Amino acid sequence: MDNKAIAGIFYETADLLEIDGQDSFRIRSYRNAAEAVEASPQQISDLISDPKQVLAIPGIGKGMLANLQEMFKEGRLSLHVEMLTKYRPSMLDLLKIQGLGPKTIALIWSAYQVCDVEGVEKLAREGKIRTLPRMGEKHEQKLLKAIEDYRRIGGRFLLDAAGAQAQKIVDHLCDYPGVEKVTPAGSLRRGRETVGDLDILVTGPACCDDTEREKLIDHIIKLPGLMEIIARGENKVSFRLRGGMQVDVRFLSPESFGAAMQYFTGSKGHNVAIRQRALKMGYTLSEYSLARLDDATVVAGKTEAEIYAAVGLDYIPPEMRENTGEIEAAEKHTLPVLIRQEDIQGDVHMHTVETDGRNSIEEMAEAARERGYKYMAITDHSKNLAFANGLDDERALKHIECIRAANDSIKEIRIFAGIEVDILGDGTLDLSDEVLQQMDLVIASVHSHFGQSAPDMTDRLIRAISNPNTSIIGHPTGRLLLRRDAYQFDMDEVLKAAAQNKVAMELNSYPDRLDLCDRHLRLAKQYGVRIVINTDSHHTSHLDKIKYGILQARRAWLTKEDVLNTLPVDKFAKAIKRG
């Protein structure tokens, strides 16, 4: 059980206790524990044998220690199971609906004993929600819209969560004798920002013999965290993991591994286009091979590269396989050379303990240096973000001093003094121009008033871009994947203004954001807007999230030249300088 899984169970328990109307102190203790576990840089599983270390985590007391011990011993938390039995697991789906909190769910439960999404939707349609205390017609409409959103995005997972689950399965399978290759395909391999289900391909001697394969499947289903088996066939086993993710594992012979990789990586649109192309050339393409139509001779199948070559195409990187022009480009040999993680020379959006980060300037610098970066920027929050302890003018000036001092004492990496300053409701920035002028780099971000009309939000962003101190617009659309839509504004107008003012757009690599998205990045490139790929780290370990940003950049066909922070330090400093 990893920290995320433990935190999930604590969160759920807190929500269920709240629905149950228990006292707020008890509810809060579970929520605090969830947050503490989530934030802990060490895995609880490594600490659990030493109660002292567990108790040293702020937010974990004796009661929670006992809970953790139970979870590791029994694989479950009895209170969690008890509450789930009382209210049924469908209650947890209701909690995922935006704007539907435990209090309202409790209200609905006590009035109608309804505890699933379908039931609540029916009540809303029949006008039975508006009659509840503190509810009205408006709430009802909002609820129906939220249910619609839930259906649209429900059942998908963030890229990092999907990647972590896939890695566990890969590790579990790699240990097994007779397994040679294990590769995730599907949307995960294409680097899509959310993933529906995992498609895992396996090959090796253990896949090629009936009895061996049966033994292999027996091994697979011992995977920790496996909840239920959905289908067990000859060449495939499908199952569901705790948390709801579905996994399809397919067994292949080495001769068809490349064809299967090509087929199951998708996307579907890309595959359909490639298959049509193959047909026109006199071939048939399946998940087993590329073969001649006339006499069924197999032409390719072992590797993806030989399949693309046989249909007259350059190799197309998985991130580009969305049928948005990549096939035409591969035919004309004009595919761009996509940016790679090694091209990134510095990460210029990160927070420290001075605001809501968890590490010091020095610790962040050491972590950035370890990753081979030549430069970085410390960009803490400004005062409008009160819950993050944002900086006012005076603290911001002091913080610059600290950053400059750290830069002087740490020779191996250049530390830029920056800020992530809030764009206020009217488009002005949250700190004075005098203070912003002292910064090497200013990221301007929207963190409030998300509900403005599109024209107002467009004006607001353009006003921020026009401020001569602004270097970068942070997470430009404000979307939170699977949680919150982007705020509304005219992207074309904003990109035009950014190009004109030489303000860069951020590609925020945080897996919940991935903002700008691939489509907008391509648009930005068309307008000549330069991109900066950042992590927005709040902890040293977050610096590794850059890989998710790189995947999105590749999905957007970006090259090294499109991205400012691939430049060497001097050129970057010049390019980012404002005024």
Residues that bind ligand DGT in the complex, under the rule CB under 6 A: 186-187, 192, 195-197, 199, 263-264, 266-268, 271-272
Q: How many Å from the N-terminal Cα to the C-terminal Cα in the chain?
A: 52
- 445 binding partner (options ligand DGT, Zn ion, Ca ion, none; Cβ < 5 to 8 Å by kind): Zn ion
Nearest-approach distance from CB 153 to Ca ion, in angstroms: 15
CB 79 within 8 A of CB 8: no
Nearest-approach distance from CB 133 to ligand DGT, in angstroms: 40
- 254 binding partner (options ligand DGT, Zn ion, Ca ion, none; Cβ < 5 to 8 Å by kind): none
3-class DSSP assignment, residue 320: helix
Cβ-based nearer residue to Ca ion, 10 or 264: 264
Cβ-based nearer residue to Zn ion, 189 or 475: 475
Cβ-based nearer residue to Ca ion, 199 or 430: 199
Cβ-based nearer residue to Zn ion, 140 or 422: 422
- 70 binding partner (options ligand DGT, Zn ion, Ca ion, none; Cβ < 5 to 8 Å by kind): none
Nearest-approach distance from CB 480 to Zn ion, in angstroms: 11
Cβ-based nearer residue to Zn ion, 40 or 445: 445
Interacting residues with Ca ion (CB under 5 A): 186-187, 197, 199, 248
Question: Nearest to residue 420, comparing CAs of 385, 467, 382, 394?
Answer: 382
Nearest-approach distance from CB 166 to ligand DGT, in angstroms: 11
- 267 binding partner (options ligand DGT, Zn ion, Ca ion, none; Cβ < 5 to 8 Å by kind): ligand DGT
Cβ-based nearer residue to Zn ion, 271 or 445: 445
CA distance 538 to 355: 9
CB 18 within 8 A of CB 107: no
- 103 binding partner (options Ca ion, ligand DGT, Zn ion, none; Cβ < 5 to 8 Å by kind): none
Q: Residue 68 to residues 9, 14, 100, 147, 531: CA-CA distances in angstroms?
A: 11, 15, 29, 34, 44
CA distance 122 to 129: 10
Question: Nearest to residue 166, comparing CAs of 149, 140, 186, 136?
Answer: 186
Count of positions on this chain that bind Zn ion (CB under 5 A): 1
Nearest-approach distance from CB 319 to ligand DGT, in angstroms: 12
Which residue has the closest beta carbon to ligand DGT?
266
Cβ-based nearer residue to Zn ion, 168 or 539: 539
Which residue has the closest beta carbon to Zn ion?
445
Question: Nearest to residue 223, comparing CAs of 274, 169, 175, 267?
Answer: 169
Quick one: which segment of 110-118, 122-130, 184-192, 443-451 binds Zn ion (CB under 5 A)? 443-451
Which of 445, 458, 469, 509 forms a contact with Zn ion (CB under 5 A)? 445
Cβ-based nearer residue to ligand DGT, 81 or 272: 272
DSSP classification of residue 508:
E
3-class DSSP assignment, residue 160: helix
Is the sign of the CA dihedral 498, 553, 390, 436 positive or negative?
A: negative
3-class DSSP assignment, residue 403: helix
CA distance 155 to 228: 16
DSSP H/E element including 347: strand 346-347
CA distance 185 to 201: 7
Binding site for Zn ion (CB under 5 A): 445
